Structure 1
Amino acid sequence: MSDKEPSSVNTPPLGDLEIAVMKVLWQAPEQSAKDLHATLGNARGISLNTIQSTLDRLYRKQLLSRTKVAHAFRYRPQVPRQQLIAGLINDLLGRFADDARSSLAAFVDAADQMDERALDELEQVLKARRGEGPSS
């Protein structure tokens, strides 16, 4: 897939807990529901069953893969973080495709909320995508 092709990731809507689970798994893949409960469940005051249900939803959404080890599944992300975020952004912008000017203005407004370092990185990525600078 080239840099200019749209993301082919299925990007279903995600809840806060689903996003939290994905973040943990991107940092440390191959975790069981019990592992994730130790990380997220206790801190959020949620049950192991809630973590298991969340993992199952993410698996059905094809965002996680799982392997059975002994009596438990171990989960790992199916898509890289950047690819999922790009898919979510593309889906959102696609909902407003009939008004490209407003979508671009909203993107600029969102970028305005970034710190200087993030804006510098965005500028470098855009230059690299246009072939005007070194790829990062």
Structure 2
Amino acid sequence: MHERISDAEHAVMEVLWEESPLTAAQVVERVAPRREWSANTVKTLLGRLLSKNIIAHEAEGRRYLYRPQVAREEYVAGESRKLMDRLFGGRLTPLVAHLAERDALSDQDIAEIEALLKDLKQ
């Protein structure tokens, strides 16, 4: 399994999952305005992600191109599993019940869950 990434690192990953490979300058262009971060902050985050082997880079002339090593779906699946394990004993039903009890499920959410369950039964 992959090493955990911070919320700040996740912002950089979202950019790279959207489009890659990107240069550091291109990542800065996409992340910095959303977060009001300096170019140095974004470059530090790229360095951390490299050291965790979450992203890779390859030289192109005098600059590097960065790309994800971990697919977004794989990361989300791992984080979802950790959340369920940590808070709900690894079970999905208590998680859904918790959301329903807190009115966190919209009518559309409920309809989508019903459709998913119907598909799973077939």
Pairing 1:58–2:49 present: yes
Q: Tell me if the contact between 2:84 and 2:95 (Cα under 8 Å) persists in the aligned partners.
A: no
1:33-84 deviation line (CA, Å, top 9, x unaligned): 1101111113422211111111111122222121111122211112221211
**Cα distance in 2 between the residues matched to 1:52 and 1:22:** 12
In structure 2, which of residues 65, 74, 78 is the aligned counterpart of residue 83 of structure 1? 74
Report the TM-score when normalising by structure 1.
0.69
Secondary structure of the equivalent of 1:62? Answer: coil
Q: 1:62 to 1:118 in 2, by over 3 A?
A: farther
Aligned-pair CA distance for 1:118: 4.2
Q: 1:127 to 1:63 in 2, by over 3 A?
A: farther
Q: 1:122 to 1:32 in 2, by over 3 A?
A: farther
In structure 1, which of residues 110, 130, 136 is the aligned counterpart of residue 99 of structure 2? 110
Aligned-pair CA distance for 1:106: 2.9
**Cα distance in 2 between the residues matched to 1:40 and 1:64:** 16
In structure 1, which of residues 12, 16, 20 is the aligned counterpart of residue 11 of structure 2? 20
**Cα distance in 2 between the residues matched to 1:82 and 1:120:** 23
**Cα distance in 2 between the residues matched to 1:21 and 1:91:** 21
Identical columns (%): 28
User: Higher helix proportion, which one?
Assistant: 2
In structure 1, which of residues 38, 44, 53 is the aligned counterpart of residue 35 of structure 2? 44
Report the TM-score when normalising by structure 2.
0.75
Greater relative contact order (Cα < 8 A, sep 6+) = 1
**Cα distance in 2 between the residues matched to 1:83 and 1:119:** 25
**Cα distance in 1 between the residues matched to 2:33 and 2:90:** 44
**Cα distance in 2 between the residues matched to 1:125 and 1:79:** 26
User: Structure 2: which 5+ residue stretches go unaligned?
Assistant: none
Q: 1:56 to 1:110 in 2, by over 3 A?
A: farther
Aligned pair count reads: 120
When the two chains are superposed, the root-mean-square deviation of aligned CA atoms in Å is 2.7
Aligned-pair CA distance for 1:127: 5.1
